[in-house]
Homo-oligomer: A and B are copies of this chain.
């Protein structure tokens, strides 16, 4: 793209697109993708651990045996055989699902977009975690909502805050949560909080959107029941194979009530007609061999666990006094809170110059909070690189601290 161009369409865009301009952070990430920079920013799965030869064999099988289906359009709901496999995957986490109630989407991200499309009118209120998955904020953002941010603590969403908001008379269209190993905070909702949230939302007739990309990436401890299990009628559940298999096939899904499913299918067809038959059949077959998919997943979890351990140890070693961080039991992310006088967004340019990148906390709030917070991802870099990146970041923060103290004193 040319960097400067007269925008002849400038007065023709929709209101929702007026703010659609590339951010400064985006520009920095272009720099951060240089190989010499240790990126602790992106949440890319470690796909190098997927046995590519086996994927190639599966793709070859699908195209040899059923190319007439694999190369053709499919229905808007997604391939029936795949939906059965996805029901099986949900059963791994205790969710009982009828494949007829599943809509296959282009990653779970598309499910977020379609949910925004069918539920959100401009000005509608949506309850989100603070901090929340940035992709959900951008997906919903296209439908011009207002946000009700509910804080997180070590036990996940502080449900009391939602309750107080309801008492105040706020009526969110839905509550959006990533209860397991949340992105970006890395925290997991406790069982009491889950019970509390489900009861509150049922009582108030407010649907819950439960987004669970990381549930099967558990390093330790026992899983809590899914919200969908606690209330199958009032919870719309989202899943993806991007973390258990590959994001390159773009297969996610929504599990919902038939009335919602019908609308999601129509919204999906309006958005892109149907998913990729080839990718759906490939994914279905990948998950049809239990030894294969479990073996791959176990390998991924072991890798992520080691990397998490390395990152936590490096944070202990290199972070200056006053910084705190979460200790995730699974998933991809550690959430760091710096002393309040540090601005993680303002520091990003200096960090990238020193060859380390992260995502500033403000990206995860709809309201400008999080200036002294940042997200670190341990999923993709090797342990050496993680240690190197955290050391570089720690050195920068230490110098900033010294500078601050010298100015104070």
Contact = CB atoms under 8 A, between A and B. Distances in A.
A267 B12 contact: no
A407 interface: no
A18 to B, nearest CB: 10
Interface string A204-225: 0101000000000000000000
A196 B60 CA distance: 50
B272 A12 contact: no
Contact of A1 (B42, B47, B261): B261
Nearest to A281: B248
A110 to B, nearest CB: 4
Interface in A1-18: 1-2, 5, 7-10, 12-17
A328 interface: no
Contacts of A141: 270
B52 A64 contact: yes
A261 to B, nearest CB: 6
A121 B242 CA distance: 33
Given A117-B17, A276-B276, A279-B279, A67 B44 contact: no
A404 interface: no
Interface stretch (A68-76, A336-344, A358-366): A68-76
A70 B71 CA distance: 18
Contacts of A13: 118-119, 263
A266 B22 contact: yes
A277 B207 CA distance: 33
A55 B138 CA distance: 36
Contacts of A266: 20-22, 138
B276 A14 contact: no
B139 A271 contact: yes
Interface stretch (A101-109, A159-167, A345-353, A387-395): A101-109
B14 A257 contact: no
Given A20-B266, A55-B67, A119-B12, A109 B271 contact: yes
A305 interface: no
B73 A109 contact: no
A68 B48 contact: yes
A5 B257 CA distance: 9
A60 B50 CA distance: 15
Interface in A254-295: 257-263, 266-267, 269-279
A326 interface: no
Nearest to A48: B68
26 contacts: A7-B257, A8-B259, A9-B259, A12-B174, A12-B207, A14-B119, A16-B118, A17-B119, A17-B267, A22-B266, A45-B72, A47-B67, A47-B72, A48-B68, A56-B60, A70-B248, A106-B106, A122-B122, A135-B270, A135-B273, A138-B270, A142-B271, A248-B276, A249-B278, A250-B275, A276-B279
